Amino acid sequence: MAADNSKKRLLLQGNEAIVYGALAAGCRFFAGYPITPATEISELLSVKLPQAGGTFIQMEDEIASMGAVIGASLAGVKAMTATSGPGFSLIQENLGYACITEVPCVIVNVMRGGPSTGLPTNVAQGDVLMARWGTHGDHPIIVLAVSSVSDCFSITVRAFNLSEKYRVPVIVLSDEIVAHTRECFTLPNVDEVRVVDRIGPNVPPEWYKPYAANNRGVPDMAAFGDGYRHHVTGLVHDERGFPTQQPHEIEPFLMRLHEKITKGFPEIMLSKSYLMADAEICVFAYGCVARSALMAVKNARAQGIKAGLLQLITLFPVPRKEIDAALRQCRVAIVPELNMGQMSREINRINQSGTRIVKYNRIDGQMIAPDEITKQIISVS
Amino acid sequence: MKNNSRYEIRFSGSGGQGIITAAVILADAVGTLDGKYVSQTQSYGPEARGGKSKAEVVISNEVIDYPKAMSIDLLLAMTQASCDAYFFEIKPDGLLVVDSSLVEQVPTSRAVAIPFTEIARKEIGRELVANMVALGAVGYLSGQVNLKNLERRLLTRVPKGTENMNRDALQAGIREAKKVDLKSLPRSFVNEWESEV
């Protein structure tokens, strides 16, 4: 795929960059159902995947799409789907199945105004907590937020890598602004992209236990059809993959699901800080709002106010260490979001240092402009 | 740290006029061929046709943080409704460009009125390419894009078989815009209002 595009500066939409990122990461299967503002991902993959020897299927709905993605991944192929709010609701059922069966997969949710069909062509960030808790039961999951075209490429690659390494579904949260903004991006060559693949069994088929724990906490994964016995069920299962109701098997299994993610915290927690070294006022932002926030922080600096930005890329698990450090350093934290305050709640939860936290929310389908955040910064300075 | 090289263009009209296509071609030429930083955004309603449509191109010599327009340097209005809606977001020394075939009431004398739709119909034979006539004019009047690069990107972005028609439309727009004497316009909207008061 990179051969024909190598080192060429392209004008790409966020959605298109996600497609190139997925292909570079080795994604060779997509199942989905078109929905604004995620449709461009399906459109481009329907052309690019067959060219790369992959498979594209338009399914009857998002429930089936997620089922097909899980099936493809079990067969050994890196797989993803892309949707927006209403489809993301449908995906939740099978997302839980992917969590408990530890099937690597990537789900892109391009957020639009909700609830329900809401505002199809407007921006929002209302699905943040849903991405974390949308499917039932205590479950591990990784949620990454993108804010630019180059993010859309690199974070999608990262999403596949984390998903394959930890055998966990990874959700890429985009939004209508990031998805539809066109910016220039130079596609890296294939050898410049770090790609992680799942680890297969290194024992003969008769010794293979598909859910046996190891020191990584991530069982080796055989592909269906490779000759390895592999039973898959949504019921809590023992290390052979068969249902169990034994307390001494249930708890270690569920604990392992969570602990494998805990072990990976250093590489899972992604954030970027801007002008934070001597900051007294910190803005926490993610997705498209991070871009307004960066400009606002620069404007505030130009007026002599010591403001900084901590851009959250990993939303869940919450980058507690980075947030805590920023909260301890700063007097005031401002959390602008295109929802009623879903991440500010998480930041409040972490706040042990009595730092004042100011929410700034907009839910009218419009982006937060830099001036609005600058005003907030000035009002607390 | 104000970025003085930032230049913001808004294309506006109604859904189906090719507003977004025109903006994408401009952004592509500026970004991939001229080599500047560019960000192109859009907003539109859920309808396929009709309804307000707008697309923005932000051009800068520096990395663009906020991708949307904040104070517009050049507004293209392809309908009366979009002219009325967005006129007040133009900078005092910005420029208003209207399709005089569709915008009958121009709110200022600091405006360039060119009948894009009529030119497309009479000279090219298809009203469909009015957006490309307008793109040619916007490209020339903004002074932000190499016009050769604009044509190159137009040719790669339009459907096969329509290249000549679209190129002719672009060139017709550039030609009309060249006839405009920008120096004869009032320097600022503000001065104009003040002199009326």
pLDDT tens sequence across A190-205: 899 999 999 999 999 9
8 Å CB contact of B38 and A180: no
Contact A281, A330 (CB under 8 A): yes
% of residues, chain A, pLDDT over 70: 98
pLDDT of residue A1: 39
Contact A152, A186 (CB under 8 A): no
In sign, the C-alpha dihedral spanning B126, B130, B131, B135 is positive
Q: In angstroms, what separates the C-alpha of A122 from chain B's closest C-alpha?
A: 8
Helices (H), chain A: 2-5, 14-25, 39-51, 62-74, 85-101, 128-133, 149-166, 176-180, 247-263, 265-268, 289-302, 320-329, 342-350, 370-380
Degrees, nearest 5: CA angle A358-A363-A365 = 135
Residue A5: band (very low, low, confident or very high) from pLDDT cuts 50, 70, 90: very low
Helix axes A370-380, A289-302, angle to 10 degrees: 50
Q: In angstroms, what separates the C-alpha of B37 from chain A's closest C-alpha?
A: 7
Contacts of A121 in chain B (CB under 8 A): 43-46
Q: In angstroms, what separates the C-alpha of B183 from chain A's closest C-alpha?
A: 33
Domains of chain A are 2-192 (3.40.50.970), 205-266 (no CATH), 273-380 (3.40.50.920)
8 Å CB contact of A121 and B46: yes
Task: Provide the whole-model pTM.
Answer: 0.94
**How many of the other CB atoms lie within 10 Å of CB of A266?**
7
Q: Which of A290, A294, A283 is nearest to A332 (CA)?
A: A283
For A32-85, what is each residue's pLDDT tens digit?
999 999 999 999 999 999 999 999 999 999 999 999 999 999 999 999 999 999
Residue of A nearest to B37 (CA): A184
Amino acid at residue number A248: H
Query: Is the Cβ of A272 closer than 8 Å to some Cβ of chain B?
Result: no
Mutation test of the interface with chain B: which of A15, A150, A184, choosing the one with the most B Cβ atoms within 10 A?
A184
pLDDT of residue A7: 67
% of residues, chain A, pLDDT over 90: 97
pLDDT of residue A2: 39
pLDDT of residue A8: 84
For B156-183, what is each residue's pLDDT tens digit?
999 999 999 999 999 999 999 999 999 8
pLDDT of residue B51: 78
Contacts of A302 in chain B (CB under 8 A): 1-2
Contact A304, A162 (CB under 8 A): no
8 Å CB contact of B1 and A369: no
Contacts of B70 in chain A (CB under 8 A): 369-371
Give the one of B38, B40, B68 whose C-beta lies nearest to A367's C-beta. B68
d(CA A228, CA A224): 7
pLDDT of residue B150: 98
Which letter does DSSP use for residue B122 in this model?
I
Q: CA of A130: how far to CAs of A213, A315, B108, in Å? A: 29, 12, 49
Mean pLDDT of A359-375: 97
- H or E segment and range at residue A311: strand A307-312
Segment among A159-163, B24-28, B117-121, B184-188 with least mean pLDDT? B184-188
% of residues, chain B, pLDDT over 90: 82
pLDDT of residue A376: 98
Q: Is the pLDDT of residue B193 over 80?
A: no
Mean pLDDT of B136-155: 97
Give the one of A10, A302, A370 whose C-beta lies nearest to B66's C-beta. A370
Q: Which of residues 216-235 of A touch B (CB under 8 A)?
A: none
Q: Is the pLDDT of residue A119 over 90?
A: yes
pLDDT of residue B47: 65
d(CA A70, CA A80): 9
For B51-92, what is each residue's pLDDT tens digit?
788 999 999 999 999 999 999 999 999 999 999 999 999 999
Q: In angstroms, what separates the C-alpha of A79 from chain B's closest C-alpha?
A: 29
Contacts of B64 in chain A (CB under 8 A): 183
8 Å CB contact of A184 and B65: no
Query: Is the Cβ of A156 closer than 8 Å to some Cβ of chain B?
Result: no
Q: Is B195 exposed, middle or buried (0-12, 13-18, 19+ CB in 10 A)?
A: exposed
Residues 6+ apart with CB under 8 A from A109: A38, A82, A83, A84, A85, A88, A127, A131, A171, A172, A173, A174
Q: Is the pLDDT of residue A207 over 60?
A: yes
Q: Is the pLDDT of residue B49 over 90?
A: no
Contacts of A182 in chain B (CB under 8 A): 24, 27-28, 31, 38-41
Q: In angstroms, what separates the C-alpha of B21 from chain A's closest C-alpha?
A: 12
8 Å CB contact of B67 and A301: no
* Distance, first Cα to last Cα, chain A: 50
pLDDT of residue B15: 87
CA trace torsion A376, B65, A106, A20 (10° rounding): 170
Q: Enumerate the domain spans of chain B.
A: 7-196
Residue B104: band (very low, low, confident or very high) from pLDDT cuts 50, 70, 90: very high
d(CA A211, CA A198): 14
pLDDT of residue B197: 53
d(CA A78, CA A101): 15
**How many of the other CB atoms lie within 10 Å of CB of A248?**
8
Contact A32, A42 (CB under 8 A): yes
Q: In angstroms, what separates the C-alpha of A91 from chain B's closest C-alpha?
A: 23
pLDDT of residue B196: 57
8 Å CB contact of A11 and B32: yes
SS (H, E, C) A282-310: EEEECCCHHHHHHHHHHHHHHCCCCEEEE
Partnered with residue A308 across adjacent β-strands are A282
8 Å CB contact of B32 and A10: yes
Pairs of CB atoms within 8 A across A/B: 69
Query: Is the Cβ of A258 closer than 8 Å to some Cβ of chain B?
Result: no
Please name the residue that has the structure tokens 């921006």: A123
Residue A6: band (very low, low, confident or very high) from pLDDT cuts 50, 70, 90: very low
Contacts of A183 in chain B (CB under 8 A): 31, 38-40, 64, 67
- B16 vs A331 pLDDT, higher one: A331
pLDDT of residue A278: 97
Query: Is the Cβ of A371 closer than 8 Å to some Cβ of chain B?
Result: yes
**How many of the other CB atoms lie within 10 Å of CB of A229?**
12
Fold designation for B7-196: Pyruvate-ferredoxin Oxidoreductase; domain 3 (3.40.920)
Which residues of chain B are at the A interface, by a Cβ-Cβ cutoff of 8 Å? 1-2, 24, 27-28, 31-32, 35, 37-46, 64-68, 70
d(CA B86, CA B151): 28
Query: Is the Cβ of A294 closer than 8 Å to some Cβ of chain B?
Result: yes
d(CA B10, CA A183): 16
Contact A184, A131 (CB under 8 A): no
The mean predicted confidence, pLDDT, of chain A is 96
Q: Which of residues 67-86 of A touch B (CB under 8 A)?
A: none
Contacts of B61 in chain A (CB under 8 A): none
d(CA A1, CA A3): 5
The mean predicted confidence, pLDDT, of chain B is 92
What does chain B come to in residues? 197
